Amino acid sequence: MNRGLVLAAAVLALVCLTATALSQQPVPVDPGAVLPGVPQQVTVRVGDSVVVDGVPIGCEITRRGGRVVLECGRTGADVAGTYMTIVGARTVKVARLRSAAVAKIILTATQRGGWRACGTSAGTARAAGVRGCR
Read off the pLDDT of residues 98-120 as tens digits, 9 standing for 90 and up. 988 899 999 999 988 888 887 77
In a domain, 10, yes or no: no
- Please check whether residue 50 is in contact with residue 44, taking contact to mean a CB–CB distance below 8 angstroms: yes
What percent of the chain has a predicted confidence (pLDDT) above 70?
64
In a domain, 4, yes or no: no
pLDDT of residue 31: 59
In a domain, 75, yes or no: yes
In a domain, 31, yes or no: no
In a domain, 27, yes or no: no
Q: How confident is the model at residue 55 (pLDDT cuts 50, 70, 90)?
A: very high
Indicate the number of domains in the chain: 1
* CA dihedral angle for residue 18, residue 23, residue 29, residue 35, rounded to 10 degrees: 40
- Please check whether residue 60 is in contact with residue 69, taking contact to mean a CB–CB distance below 8 angstroms: no
Q: How confident is the model at residue 8 (pLDDT cuts 50, 70, 90)?
A: very low
Q: Which domain holds residue 62?
A: 39-128
Q: Which pTM does this prediction carry?
A: 0.63
